[in-house]
Each structure stands twice: as C-alpha cells, then as structure tokens.
Amino acid sequence: MVSLCSGVGCIDLAASWYGIRTVLFCEIDPYCQKVLQKRFPDVPIIADIRDVTAEKVREVTGLDQIDIVCGGWPCQPHSLAGKRLGAQDERDLWPEFRRVLRELRPRWFVGENVRGLLSTDAGRFFGAVLHDLADLGFDVRWGVHGACDVGAPHRRERVFLLAYHHEV
C-alpha cells in the first residue's frame, strides 16, 4: 500500500493489523513524519505529493505494482469550519490524488475526508471526485462514519470511499 497525506499513519496502523504492508508514505508535515518514522522505521517517506510518480515509487519500493493507494487529502477546502473554497483553495490536492491513481493504477483506493466534502460547491466537488474515479476505471462505494460509531465519545464524521478497479 502507498499512503498519501498520511498524517500520523492511522489508516496504515489499522491496515497493518490485518497484514497490509505500507511500502511508502507521502507526508509533508515534519511532526507527522517523525511519528511515521517512529511507528514505521523502515518505510520511506516522500514529503511532497507532487514528487510521487510511478517511476519514483518503483525506485523507492522496488515494486512494479501497488495494490492499494490510501489517504485523506487536505480537508481545509471542505471543512464547515473554513471558507469552503473547494477546488479554488490552493490546498486542494484531489487533482494530485487523481494523478497518482492514474499513474500507479492500484487495484484498490481508500479515501477519507470530512463530511463537508459532500456539500462543497453544492455537491459538485464530490460528484467530480466520483466521476474522476469512474473515469479511471474504479467502481466506488462511499459512506459517512463517525468516531462515535466505533465507541469514541465524539462524532467526528468522515466520508470514506472504497474503490475497486476490476481490470488491474
């Protein structure tokens, strides 16, 4: 699995409990990088998603095929607490996620973002994400799940996307 916008590696930690091995992180925040290095000392980190290319992934991991790409692109363009600029926000990295998926051609994509993603630009942004994934050959399912769904004392709702590519 290649992990984009990895944060402190929560998706990767959970995946490791089920035998899924993360072979590359992409995370720009120095503090998060330190946490990743402590949790996953042998996994390389590329700081900038713009540097994640099929060639670079092959060079760093030695692998020709990646099974899963996961990650939560920055939520600030979609958060109800922000300006909600969507694609007009310079922090919007969905186009980079789309590019990486096109280049790496994984069988699976697992994405995560804030619930506000569903209503950014009156729902058009999320519709474009689903359209992009379909254009890349993915069959997509999605849902909203909160931290309270797994026993936490707060809601913290997130949109999760699970996409499968039948032809890879």
Q: Considering 32, 70, 75, 148, which one is annotated as catalytic?
A: 75
* Per-residue buried b or exposed e for 106-122, using 16+ beta carbons within 10 Å of the residue's own CB: bbbbbbbbbbbbbebbe
Catalytic residue check, 75: yes
Provide the sign of the torsion angle of the four alpha carbons 95, 11, 78, 82, taken in this order.
negative
H or E, element range at 159: strand 158-165
Catalytic residues: 75
